[in-house]
Amino acid sequence: MVPRQTSVTLAFDFGPDISDALDPGERRIYTMRDAVFAEAFVQLNRDRVWAPDPAAERAEARVWTGALVLLALGGLLALLLNR
């Protein structure tokens, strides 16, 4: 049986997990339905607001670039060895 909805569970919706392969955990988008609840939520969680880290994004881009370069070199090596 599904538990009965409460004022808290009715106050917001959340989307699917939007994290990618290198994210350490889940990341979701939340939508607040109730303005009063939203304001209280913001006040209680002001110190937890996520802010993007440009250094981490650059590091992730370097990892993906390196992986693609290694994949391309592996493909070229496989072609040369299978001639």
- pLDDT: is 27 or 72 the higher one? 72
Cα 63 to Cα 69: distance, rounded to the nearest angstrom = 10
Per the structure, the count of domains in the chain is 2
Same domain for 73 and 35: no
- Domain housing 73: 52-83
pLDDT in tens, 53-78: 899 899 999 999 999 999 999 999 99
Using CA atoms, how far residue 48 sits from 5, 41, 44, 45, 64, in Å, is 26, 11, 9, 5, 28
- pLDDT: is 69 or 33 the higher one? 69
Same domain for 70 and 56: yes
Residue 48, pLDDT above cutoff 80:
yes
First CA to last CA distance, the chain: 62
pLDDT at res. 10: 80
Same domain for 41 and 14: yes
Average of per-residue pLDDT across 7-19: 83
Residue 5, pLDDT above cutoff 90:
no
Same domain for 40 and 59: no
